[in-house]
Chain A
Amino acid sequence: MKICAPLADVNELNPLLDLGVEEIYAGLLTQMWEEKFGLVLSSSRRYGSSAHLKDLRQLQTAVKACDGRGAKFFLTLNERYEEEQFPALLEIIKAAEQLGVKALILGDLGFLLYLREKQILMPLFMGVGGNVFNLQALSLCRELGVSRVILPRQLTLKEIKTFRQTFPYMEMETFIFRGLCPYIDGLCRFWHGINATLGIEQEDLGCGLNYRIKFTTRGRISPELTKRYRQVINHRQSFTGCGLCALWEFHHTGIDSVKIVGREIPGPDKIAGVKVVKKALDIVKQNLLSREEFREFCRESYRKFYRKNCREIACYYPELPAGKSRP
């Protein structure tokens, strides 16, 4: 099982590769793209230049560095696109193919079909935009030539295991650290990048805001329920997402790769997060701790990293026993 780590700046490359990361993914936001399409029509579901590589030269540096260290570089083009964006994307992809990018992470079925038409032979991964929530959806992806599926972050461990057992030869990637939006990536229609367009530094993700809430009810609804509803809504976005404990299950289930979220996170912080996952993964691979000891190790790692106890609301795989606090 490999770690798939995010990248936005070529200066982050060596520290990541030094940690033994074997897969790296990044988006590319060129000046041309930004000028032509703006920030809200992003090329890769992240907004602002700090979350992306900025030009083909940086892409080349990244691919070369990965090749030299036995790692694979994947290019993220996981937005839903307008057809007028296809030629600009194809240009990027042809360059990426020549540079030796190992796969494309996609989220738009129409774009995938377009790439097949254009005889792009690079392996295609279906990202969370593919909404692969059941086995038949995965069959469809396979028939469309997808070689890896990045399973939605809302799946349960039981569902992931079923996927793995039913499709033993399909590459599968699951989420493991950071991020964790409560909304389903592939079914969410919030705009991102509005504040960035307006020049406001603070993010404006609809899922992370605090809302004033006025309830309409029918029949008997307890005040305790409305209180709790309010709490759930206003503690939704957890950028402190974690699924470390599940590394044990993923290793034994045979998941191919685990994804760390956060292309936009500043370099040192990003690398610190990868270190946490790497350490935990090494323990699992070398079978150094029992399952229970490993869970305790993960909880402790979470406490040290985020400086708070792990909580169910921040847990990717909450069917595993987590901390005690509630949202």
Chain B
Amino acid sequence: MMELAFFYRQAKDFTPAGVKPFSRVYLGAEFCEALLPGAKTLARLMEKARSLKLKISLVFPSLSIKGLQQAVKLLESLDLQDDELVIQDWGLLYWFLKHRPPATPVLGRVLVRQKTGPQIMRLKEKFPQVVESSQKIPGFSRPFFNWLLELGIRRAEIENPLQGFLIPDSPRDFAFSLHYPTVLVSLTRKCPAKIASNLQEAVGLGKCGKICQKITGELWNENIGFPLISRGNSLLYNNPDLPPKSELIKLGVNRLVYENLCALS
């Protein structure tokens, strides 16, 4: 059975028509702590999600010292009801282990760190075996899975890069969520949108005006060979070509998470 989830981005996502094929919603921010919603907003969204009978996954990005303090404050303010907590920061995981709030931890795609750069496809003709071996997700090893299970983590989130993906042998009770169509390539603290919008701060240290909600850049270079999208602190691309559901289930994927970050909503 494939569970269908979506990442909430705007009010119209929460209309009956908007939620129709989905049974789960992702709330929060995946890649930038400046985009985390406030406590009141998040609580309101959670309430609305529950009223629409949607299960909830709360998502937190990689966090600075200050960002983690804010994230913890936010989590402590919420009425968690065995919701999922998608963790993308080792510090947040550490906090979770020490405090064990009533939530199910999930290893987010930022920490899974699949190799996704599109340039690998340039090797397809001359070195097809390299492209094939690049499908394997590095870092997923038996000691790592065992450790995750010990910590109570039984799900990890992965992506669908151009070369495809192969999940190495994973424990039987471990599941995977696949994000689509957006694939993350890289993250920066020197956010070009922030730098461009704040002329006083050449390196992006200043306050954030969240201009990334109003502008994306499509980047093209022959050496990459595939259009990249610059959005805020993230470099992304879209790969809408999903393997058939039957194949995904064989690979260990039992949830699809829809989020098109490459498009302005």
Contacts and interface: CB of A to CB of B under 8 A. Distances in A.
Interface string A174-202: 00000000111011111100110110000
Contacts of B141: 81-83, 86, 110-111, 114
A35 interface: no
A230 B120 CA distance: 25
Contact of B217 (A81, A137, A210, A213): A213
Contacts of B230: 213, 229, 233
Interface string A149-167: 0000010100100100000
Contacts of A212: 219-221
19 contacts: A38-B127, A40-B130, A41-B134, A113-B144, A130-B90, A159-B65, A187-B110, A189-B184, A195-B223, A206-B117, A206-B119, A212-B219, A213-B219, A229-B196, A229-B217, A230-B217, A232-B196, A313-B203, A315-B203
A197 to B, nearest CB: 6
B215 A215 contact: yes
B149 interface: no
A218 B265 CA distance: 9
Contacts of A279: none
B123 A134 contact: no
A219 interface: yes
B16 interface: no
Contacts of A213: 217-220, 230
A61 interface: no
Interface stretch (A14-22, A220-228, A247-255): A220-228
A197 B133 CA distance: 14
Interface string B124-151: 0011001001101011111110110000
A189 B115 contact: yes
A59 to B, nearest CB: 24
B35 interface: no
A1 interface: no
B27 to A, nearest CB: 22
A307 interface: no
Nearest to A166: B65
Interface in B199-214: 199, 202-203, 205, 211, 213-214
B66 to A, nearest CB: 9
Interface string B169-212: 00000000000000011111110110111010011010000010
Contact of B187 (A110, A184, A230): A184
B42 interface: no
Contacts of A81: 138-139, 141
Interface residues of B, number: 73
B185 A190 contact: yes
B85 to A, nearest CB: 14
B190 to A, nearest CB: 5
A312 B195 CA distance: 12
> Is chain B's binding surface mostly helix, strand, loop or mixed?
mixed
The 8 A-B residue pairs with the shortest CB-CB distance, nearest first, are A110-B144, A136-B91, A137-B91, A134-B91, A113-B143, A229-B196, A211-B219, A190-B117
Interface string B92-136: 111100000000000000110111110110110011001001101
Contacts of A219: 214
A214 interface: yes
A197 B89 contact: no
Interface hub of A80, A209, A218, A232 (most chain B Cβ within 10 A): A232
A131 B215 CA distance: 28
Contacts of A133: 62-65, 89, 91
B123 A198 contact: yes
B224 interface: yes
A271 interface: no
A133 B189 CA distance: 11
B94 A136 contact: yes
A140 interface: yes
Interface in A114-154: 114, 117, 130-141, 154
Interface hub of B123, B196, B224 (most chain A Cβ within 10 A): B196
A179 to B, nearest CB: 14
B164 interface: no
B221 A209 contact: yes
Contacts of B249: none
B130 A229 contact: no
Interface string A224-246: 01101110110010000000000
